[in-house]
Structure 1
Amino acid sequence: MRRPTHEVYLLDFACYKPEPTLMCSSETFMKSSELTGSFSEESLAFQKKILERSGYGEKTYASKSLLEVPMNKNVEAARNEAEMVMFGAIDELLVKTGVNCKDIGILVVNCSVFNPTPSLAAMVINRYRLRGSISSYNLGGMGCSAGLVAVDLAKRLLQVRNESYALVVSMESMTLNWYGGNNRSMLITNCLFRMGAAAVLLSSRSSDRCRSKRRHQKSWHCPLQRPSVCRR
């Protein structure tokens, strides 16, 4: 309890944007669903109604494996999807912040429904050659709230670890979890989930105060706030 707690700063974030060839309009989605031959007319009509009421535009994205005919639902395709979205978001984030990968001391990756072995966190560590002493966490099976849990976990770790960086990666994968049946409650995930990932870099380095987008005060009740203007 006597350990000092450090302020935590949000340096920057990045969201992965897939290639135009992976764009999945409502028409494309319905056509792909129909070509699978897995759905009744009632189920197809139900999915169309969900799409119309979801508020989704015509520029959402789906993985290549789900746009193929027939769909290519296997572990290799799911890993390729995960690598593409995670690494795409992280690459952009590192360019934005200019942080050296070796300076990252904490890694938290969350994906609810796809949890391979080696883990997604291990894939990130191997790709970017993160240091061997890094504290890595792979969160799974926690639903949509896992993104907030991941950020909170990274923040808590940084509060007791001075002069360090934490990388948080949040994603979802539908390649192995596309539902091909007529249970309406399970059809909803087909309609509402798409492809993408977000990466966030947090810091407990006091030198990052001026360039951070948000900061977390030591008070328990204060959320991430805009940093005060630094006067030199």
Structure 2
Amino acid sequence: MKDFMQENMDEFLPLREVVFKTLRQSILTGELKPGERLMEIHLAEKLGVSRTPIREAIRKLELEGLVTMIPRRGAEVAKISEKNLKDVLEVRTCLDSLAVRLACQRITDEQIDDLKKACDDFVLATKTGEATAITKADVKLHDVIVRATGNERLQQMINTLSEQMYRYRFEYIKDSAYHALLIEEHRRIYESIAARDEERAVAEITQHIENQLYTIRKHLHFTE
């Protein structure tokens, strides 16, 4: 968590924003686990700040749905909900299907090269075994596709959804058993977009998301 704190301090942000971003990142990456109590005194000591910015950060995190206030218990990291997972992935399927269709129509040769490089970078990231690096590489790959649509409103909607998806994506990616499948799925998505084959691209991205739903549910021990 202190590493996150230092990274954010380097951005010259107000202290309250640094604390908020640090706690938020710790939740998204799983350092602060679902159901874990957020003790103001403990967090203040750990980050070397007063309780005031901790309290402000917890309030903002509650508004984002990342923290839950429990009567007579206080704040805790929000538990991961299967319903929320399904809701997010249903919307993501629709938005990503539109994104790959538009990308097939509008992607430039330079962006095709960028997408190929993003696929290669993801492979390299998996070799590090570092979940945060792999997750960032995965996000960057999908960002190339979204930028290729040329639709700024769609980019905003997908970016907002991506923030909500981050915790689930991290759960999916941190298990190395699924890396080979992810690499293959990315390759097929790249090939379909490079060939400007809209129907194949939609089919590949839909299968990619369905596989994520299955894997995350299995990893988090959700039942049918």
Instruction: Judging by fraction of residues, say which structure has more strand.
Output: 1
TM class by shorter-chain length?
under 0.3
TM-score (norm 2): 0.26
Instruction: Judging by fraction of residues, say which structure has more helix.
Output: 2
* Structure label with greater radius of gyration: 1
